[in-house]
Chains A and B, each alone.
Chain A
Amino acid sequence: MNSKFIFRSILAVAVVATASCKPTLKEITPSKGSADFTRYIAVGNSLTSGYADGGLYLDGQQNSFPLMIATQMQTVGGGSFSTPFFTAAQADGTGHKKLSGFTPTGDPIVTDVPAQAVRGSITLPGFGTVALLTKYTGDLNNYGVPGIRLNQITYAPLGNVNPYFERLLPGNSPTNNTPYLNFVTAKPFTFFSMWLGNNDVLLYATGGADTPSDFPTDKATFTALYNAAANALVTGGAGGTGAKGVVATVPDVLSTPYFTTVTLQALLTAVQAAAPTVQAIFIKTGAGVSRPATTADYFLLPLKAANVIGVPNASGYPYGLDPRNPVESKYVLDKDEAASIVDYTTSYNNTIRSVAAAKGLALFDANALFKSYAAGRVVNGVAVNASYITGNLFSLDGIHLTPMGYAIVANEFIKSINSQYGSSIPTVDVTKYRGVKFP
């Protein structure tokens, strides 16, 4: 062997080595399994629309879980997915909350970003004044309508009173009469997600159980409508040849920051700093009784911002500190009201589970997921929990999610779909999505 030969050999090895420098992991081939994702539609409420920070705006829409799922579905034959985006010029949409700083005592200062996509308003007899939003025309896959209740999906006038639905319809309020369920099934589709039912109990809860018109939907009505919706959707819409889909349970609203941030202890501590003798916060219950609050009662997030505790009324009684001037019912979900909300939620979820099983639909148990995150979990090095602002899961309104929260939800939907239909839609990278923005 001469040395030239050796040098050439070494060079050859070096060349081969450099060429194959990347480690290669085992190939994976995403598959659609027994489902067909050619046209996926998302049916639901604010959570489906991407609503966040107390409003519907472009950034939230761009981080909606249906868009994330649809993007991932494109690796397994999914088609294009259209979201009714606000334009860049009207990116703030209906307006939304933002965190602008902290008080010297560390309380968050949350301010409002004004709306940009309001085209006017209309006063409807019996409903009051309703805002009219900039119309969206064009293809539609994300049919999420903030505020919609299951018991409104067959209600023809909804397109006149719900501004989010009105903006998707071709006609102007008050001329609309297409029910939501007819609207979403007007075109054929092959796959759907349906996350409805939240508002049938949520709106009652967030209003402190103080608004009779928000009273939870009757349980039997809920079951009948949920079956009707599922029956309509599995047909695959007008001209369709059947669709598969995924449905989700109603989360436990009482574990959201809207109900857990303002606690009895926190209120007492704040009051006692100035008035050490105060031992109780008085509330007005749903039954109209004024009594000291217990830890079984829930105070609502807006109570903090309202800044009313201790303020004397006309008779000189300090707000919340005297039985004659208790915290109003709209700021409180008392023990009995909370129990009623849990009861309705449980009943709705039993319906959702049994319908999913009967129709062979994938089921995402959102109720279980949110309970597990409320206790605190770590996702790729991020502490995710139900703490207001710092928990990374909930946006500034304390009910709707951050982009990171929606990404976690998207992955749970994907896992449910994959497990039901034998597909392997890739999950999204949760760490690519943000929590609450800090100034």
Chain B
Amino acid sequence: MKKILLSFLLAVPILGYSQSYQVNLQGQKQTAMGGAGTGVALDEAAVFFNPGAVSFLKQNGVQAGVSPIFLKAAFRENGSNVTEYTKDKLATPVMGYGVFGSPESRLRFGLGIYTPFGGAVHWDPNWTGKYAVTSLDLQAIYIQPTLSYKITDHIGIGAGLVYALGKVDLKRAVPITLNDGTSSTAELKGTSANFGWNAGIYVETISGVTIGVTHRSQVTAKVKDGDAIFNVPDALKSGFPTKFSANLPLPATSSIGLGFHPSAATVIAVDANWVHWSTYKVLAFDYNNNSRIPNTSSPRNYHDGAALRAGIQNQTTKRLALRAGAGYAFTPVGKGYVTPEVPDANRLLLSAGLGYKATDRFSVDLSFLYEKVMSRNETNIETGLSGTFKTVAYIPGISLSYKW
């Protein structure tokens, strides 16, 4: 067993996922291949990875999957000997795709539901950074109807309209002492519904290498009249707001991907992503009552981030496919701007997975992604919170698909 394990660990690096609150878990096959998939027409998840490749899929099909994220972040304040950890809190990004239309026709239809942004970070309510954040639950689910058209036998284009449903729940302590000696708290809860788009081109070259180029637009999640729940001393309560508004950019991503097909059984995918994080300048909250607290504007000043991903799939037997991948994501968060709601840093992604075709129509895909966010010692310029952050995530995933 030890030997198997060792050889597995050494030989099979796995794929990765994310930057800041971006989540890259949109398909189990692709997740198992380091998150690469822009330049290959693998399965129905092409609706997300490259709408241009949808018209190249050989079969119609539907699939549904989930990737529960086991994430643990650690923080130690500089000068302290105490390490604090986030609580176990499961985020479960879901994904589902369908591809329809006649496989012989040039025009195909797709529908995708996926979770490109999210997070669930829960610190102890009394931790060192409680006045910055105690918990953040964030989720943006995109629903994307898609058209894909094969211009020639070797070039496909596709585009989808994105309807983005957002949900945010942010909690933190407020530095006003209640009569029982504990801190006041604030919770900001709201939802959003906004539009965006996703488009791509897919090309099969004469050499056999496939190429994909895609762009997913920015969606600005606009929360209007969200609930601002302040638990503050009674003597001050009337001066605190009950509603808030905020805009959170869900940035655009441009990708280029290559697919190599060294044998009939093997596919190698390589992707480069450019995430346009530089639009995330501030996290601002506007309140409906400013007599006790002003509107806030916390600087974020992200710069654009990039990720490189590569993965391989081998159809080992008729029924079994093995996959592995690796990736590296460069953080968009600059020095002084790391915050505990998203303690981001450069991250290494390793992934592996397998697909098992139970029948000609049914198959199951499993993936496992390990993500190591590098340790980072930072002093935040807004809160002065100073210490070392380190995060790891373990993300198993499963999807079921049915083809016809």
The interface of chain A, by Cβ under 8 A from chain B, is: 1, 3, 5-6, 8-10, 12-14, 16-18, 21-26, 28, 30, 75, 101-102, 377-383, 392, 411, 414-415, 426-427, 429, 431-432, 434-439
Contact = CB atoms under 8 A, between A and B. Distances in A.
Given A378-B384, A381-B385, A434-B177, A427 B80 contact: yes
Contacts of B176: 435, 438
A23 B73 contact: yes
9 closest pairs, A vs B, by CB?
A381-B131, A438-B233, A427-B79, A381-B383, A426-B81, A382-B175, A23-B390, A434-B177, A12-B5
A415 B4 contact: no
Interface in B50-108: 70, 72-74, 76-77, 79-83, 85
A380 B179 contact: no
Contact of B85 (A22, A382, A431, A434): A22
A21 B126 contact: no
A382 B131 contact: yes
A379 B390 CA distance: 21
Interface in B271-294: none
A415 B394 contact: no
A422 to B, nearest CB: 15
Looking at B77, B85, B368, B388, the one whose CB has the most chain A CB atoms below 10 A away is B77
A376 to B, nearest CB: 12
B4 A381 contact: no
Contacts of A437: 177-179, 181
Given A9-B5, A382-B131, 13 more contacts: A6-B322, A8-B1, A12-B8, A16-B5, A22-B72, A380-B385, A392-B175, A426-B79, A426-B80, A427-B79, A429-B80, A435-B177, A439-B234
B233 A439 contact: yes
A211 B396 CA distance: 75
Contacts of B4: 5, 8-9, 12
A416 to B, nearest CB: 13
Given A378-B382, A380-B128, A10 B368 contact: yes
A377 B1 CA distance: 57
Interface in B202-240: 232-236
Contacts, number: 141
Contacts of A427: 77, 79-80
A380 B392 contact: no
A321 to B, nearest CB: 32
A438 B236 contact: yes
B32 to A, nearest CB: 11
A12 B1 contact: yes
A426 B132 contact: no
5 contacts: A3-B319, A14-B368, A24-B390, A438-B177, A438-B178
Looking at A3, A12, A13, A415, the one whose CB has the most chain B CB atoms below 10 A away is A13
A429 B235 contact: no
Nearest to B322: A6
Nearest to A102: B235
Nearest to A379: B384
Contacts of B235: 101-102, 438-439
A435 B184 CA distance: 11
A326 B138 CA distance: 62
Given A10-B366, A13-B352, A25 B83 contact: yes
A415 B79 contact: yes
A16 B352 CA distance: 14
B183 A434 contact: yes
Nearest to B354: A6
Contacts of A26: 375, 388
Contacts of B183: 434
A335 B392 CA distance: 60
A25 B385 contact: no
B265 interface: no
B197 interface: no
Contacts of B150: none
B316 interface: yes
A354 B196 CA distance: 68
Contacts of A378: 382-384
B352 A28 contact: no
Contact of A6 (B9, B177, B320): B320
A30 B76 CA distance: 14
